[in-house]
A and B are shown apart, each in its own frame.
Chain A
Amino acid sequence: MSFIFDHVSYTYQPGTTYAVKALSDVSFQIKDGDCVGIIGHTGSGKSTLIQHMNALLLPTEGAVYYNGQDISDKDFNKSVLRSEVGMVFQYPETQLFEETVMKDVCFGPKNQGLSEKEATLRAYEALKMVNFPDDSFDQSPFSLSGGEQRRAAIAGVLAMKPKTLILDEPCAGLDPAGRNELLSLIRRMNEEEGITIIFVSHSMDDVAETVKRVIVMDEGRLFMDGDPHQVFSHEKELEEISLSVPPVTSLIDRLIENGFFKGMEKKEGYTVTTAKEACELICSEISR
């Protein structure tokens, strides 16, 4: 059990006129090896929520437990938490600062106390993992394109070998190839290395393709929590909170309403969420 959120509320600048209640009474658990997507409209509290998992924010009410320890405790070791839980922020490229990409990626491992040599090795592996072009390792990060900067920044977090990886909208602004690569990297890390993934996104497609569980946030509250097939079968409810379902889901649901795929409409609380599943369904319909 890695994370337990127990009736967590968070207010920015409490006690002033600028107070904003960003989370209210959120409770859920995340187990080791989970692959969780978090969706919600802008300002629904997703970024606030995930910053609790790195003890960058502490709940104003309720408690967050990491491996059974309360992160708000005075003697809770935040540096251990931060080296085990990697966090890729929204627009992570804004955190680049070193003279070369290599040095920048080494920053995290070095803070973990690794030697120069080990850090460089980690950085090399991480840059390879994100498919960063070899000949740019020693370039200034500021002379790279936006997509390359993004990769370098993500490598900076991967180099710390986190057990849990949190990504806040990592695909925003990437080209389709970059997006596919990143999503498959995320899936691979979860399936092959057992890394717990928490993935925030505005793209229902990306979420449906990547995760095994979806948490839906609305106005700082936990709106839904479940399997993507189950969550995306609630198209109406999701649309009411300015979200949508993946286009394939929408298409297959329309087709079912129009009398195709006999038998599917009886499957309450289940829907097709990816192109692959839709393809299988259509193929079996045709061959019938």
Chain B
Amino acid sequence: MFRNITLGQYYPAESVLHALDPRVKLFGALVWIISIFLMDGLFSFLLATGFLMFLIVISKVPFSFMVRGLRSIMIIVIIASVFNIFFTPGNALVEVGALRITDKGIINAILMAIRMFYLIIGTSLMTLTTTPNNLTDGLSRSLSPLEKLRVPVTDIAMMMTIALRFIPILIEETNKIMKAQMARGADFDHGGLIKKAKNMVPLLVPLFVSAFRRANDLALAMEARCYSSGKKRTKLNPLKYARRDAIAYIIILSFLTGLILMKIFL
């Protein structure tokens, strides 16, 4: 059931992208998100596509693995595109009652779909090549200046680590409970919407119970090992920049500069 969600999953491999410092990758993801909104002409689109393809190739993550994760996002993209097709003003191509399909609408819908796919592929490249722990590490380091403003960055990072850690556990638990209820004759696949929702009760109740129990156990275990929030913590493996990280920063910045120049001059 949840096998097809690759979003936020780590794919172990040995590549340059995997070896990069998580802060670089976070910065890269941020730049990528900005660049998706900068990209409007054909050339900037080609540049971004080329850059994305380059990243996919050096990441050594099989393309088919990434695409599998896109399937579950498809519905959202389709809904967004449909809205775009029908609700963008412009020259009407087809008109049925109150619904009109316009030329601008179609272009917008296509652009929208491409932007969303690029957004997802780009950001999942980051999560696919970075372990969750590394990611939160990078995030808490990148955000550490905010500590001066009394933002509890380390606590937030800890919460994220725990949340990410629990996702696979909960998926496994869901599978287990689902199987146990199926063995007692529960049916999760058939019936209408309301029936399906009702059939979820035997799955959701045990899942919540076990999630709360786990959370409770974890809190106790952390307290037993003297964890307390708000204390300054040191790291076992502090993050250190290497030469490749500097090169990566240069590449990312030149990509961004290229896009901005195109936006201004083309």
Interface residues of A (CB under 8 A from B): 13, 16-17, 51, 54, 56, 79, 82-83, 86-87, 89, 92, 94-97, 107-108, 111-112, 142, 156-157, 160
B interface size (C-beta, 8 A): 23
From A16, A94, A96, give the contact of B65 (CB < 8 A). A16
CB-based contact A82/B185 at 8 Å: yes
Please indicate which of the listed interface residues A56, A94, A95 has the most CB atoms of chain B within 10 Å of its own CB. A95
Asked if A97 contacts B210 (CB within 8 A), the reply is: no
Residue ID in chain B nearest A142 by CB atoms? B209
Query: In the complex, A92 Cα to B183 Cα: how many Å?
Result: 11
Q: Which residue of B lies closest to A166 (CB)?
A: B183
Interface string of B184-219 (1 = CB under 8 A from A): 111100000000000001100110011000000000
* Inter-chain contacts of B177 with A (CB < 8 A): 94-95
Pairs A–B under 8 Å by Cβ, sample size 10: A51-B179, A54-B182, A56-B182, A87-B180, A89-B179, A89-B183, A96-B206, A97-B205, A111-B185, A111-B186
Is there contact, CB below 8 Å, between B186 and A17? no
List B contacts of A89 (CB < 8 A). 176, 179-180, 183
For residue B243, CB closer than 8 A to chain A, the reply is no
Asked if A107 contacts B202 (CB within 8 A), the reply is yes
Contact with A54, one of B3, B183, B187 (Cβ below 8 angstroms): B183
CB proximity of B91 to chain A, nearest CB, Å:
47
Interface residue from B185, B187, B210 paired with A94 (Cβ < 8 Å): B210
Q: Does B181 contact A (CB under 8 A)?
A: yes
A160: chain B residues within 8 A (beta carbon)? 184-185
Q: Which residue in chain A gives the minimum CB-CB distance to B182?
A: A56
The listed residue with most A CB atoms (<10 A of its CB), out of B12, B13, B201, B202, is B202
Q: How far is the CA of A273 from the CA of B18 in the complex (A)?
A: 54
A157-B184 in contact (CB<8A) = yes
Q: How many angstroms between the C-alpha atoms of A157 and B205 in the bound complex?
A: 18
Closest to A113 in B: B185
Given A17-B11, A56-B179, residue A107 in contact with residue B210 (CB < 8 A): no
